[in-house]
């Protein structure tokens, strides 16, 4: 396994819509290595999610830790060709960060309750109903597959902050999201 280079804001790969992955591609050694490398890269950078465009791959794929506490515990999940359906019209602001936009946080409105349908790393379809932090994580990562960064979802930039300042002045125990 390898730690992959993470694309940073400004790289065109982060603004491009990704391609759907063919079911036969999922079973290949190359694809499985990409998944393993993405998980290792996410863990190396203490992230809770990582989308393929963030490692310079234009594919509809992300990995995520869906620990409701937001501490990044548990087993990483693989989402291939995900489709998200909000299960509420409500939007809740929450702090988000991004491995492609290091050291910055901002408050982003997201649906607090979603259904996600995807293929797993074996190519089998699954569905999950998620709330709160896990729902936020999958929405953030799925946005990357459409070339959308969390800045694009913000209502205002007044909450943008550097991590050092966030830790000092803004962080509340329930609000530390790290995507």
Q: What local confidence, expressed as pLDDT, does residue 1 receive?
A: 80
pLDDT for 16-57, tens place per residue? 999 999 999 999 999 999 999 999 999 999 999 999 999 999
Q: Which residues contact 79 (CB under 8 A, 6 or more apart)?
A: 61, 62, 63, 64, 116, 118, 119, 120, 138, 141, 142
When computed from its CA atoms, the radius of gyration of the chain, rounded to whole angstroms, is: 15
State the Cα angle at 35 between 32 and 38, rounded to 5°. 150
Counting Cβ atoms within 10 Å, is residue 63 exposed (0-12), middle (13-18) or buried (19+)?
buried
Position 170 scores a pLDDT of 67
Q: What is the pTM of this model?
A: 0.91
Q: Which of 108, 148, 166 is nearest to 9 (CA)?
A: 148
Phi, psi of 94, deg, nearest 5: -150, 155
Q: Catalytic site residue 141?
A: yes
Q: Are 62 and 51 in contact (CB under 8 A)?
A: yes
pLDDT digits (tens, 9 = 90+) for 47-67: 999 999 999 999 999 999 998
Say how many C-beta atoms besides its own lie within 10 A of residue 44's C-beta: 14
* Res. 103: pLDDT tops 90: yes
- Per residue in 71-99, pLDDT (tens digit) is 777 899 999 999 999 999 999 999 999 99
Q: Which of 57, 96, 141, 176 is catalytic?
A: 141
- Give the chain's mean pLDDT: 93
Spatial neighbors of 30 by CB under 8 A, at least 6 apart, are: none
Tell me the pLDDT tens digit for each residue of 118-177: 999 999 999 999 999 999 999 999 999 999 999 999 999 999 999 888 787 766 544 444
Domains by residue range for the chain, with CATH: 12-170 (3.90.45.10)
């Amino acid at each position: 396994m390898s730690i992959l280079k993470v694309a940073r804001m400004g790289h065109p790969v982060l603004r491009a819509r990704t391609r759907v992955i063919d079911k036969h591609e999922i079973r290949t050694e190359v694809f499985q290595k990409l998944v393993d490398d993405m998980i290792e890269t996410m863990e190396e950078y203490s992230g809770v999610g990582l989308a393929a465009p963030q490692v310079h791959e234009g594919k509809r794929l992300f990995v995520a830790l869906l620990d409701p506490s937001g501490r990044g515990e548990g087993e990483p999940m693989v989402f291939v060709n995900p489709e998200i359906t909000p299960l509420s019209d409500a939007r809740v602001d929450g702090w988000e960060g991004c491995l492609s936009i290091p050291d910055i946080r901002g408050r982003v409105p997201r649906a607090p309750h979603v259904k996600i349908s995807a293929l797993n790393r074996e190519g089998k379809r699954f569905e999950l109903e998620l709330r709160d932090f896990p729902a936020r994580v999958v929405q953030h990562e799925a946005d990357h597959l459409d070339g959308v960064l969390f800045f694009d979802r913000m209502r205002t930039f007044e909450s943008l902050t550097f991590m050092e300042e966030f830790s000092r002045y803004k962080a509340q125990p329930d609000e530390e999201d790290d995507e």
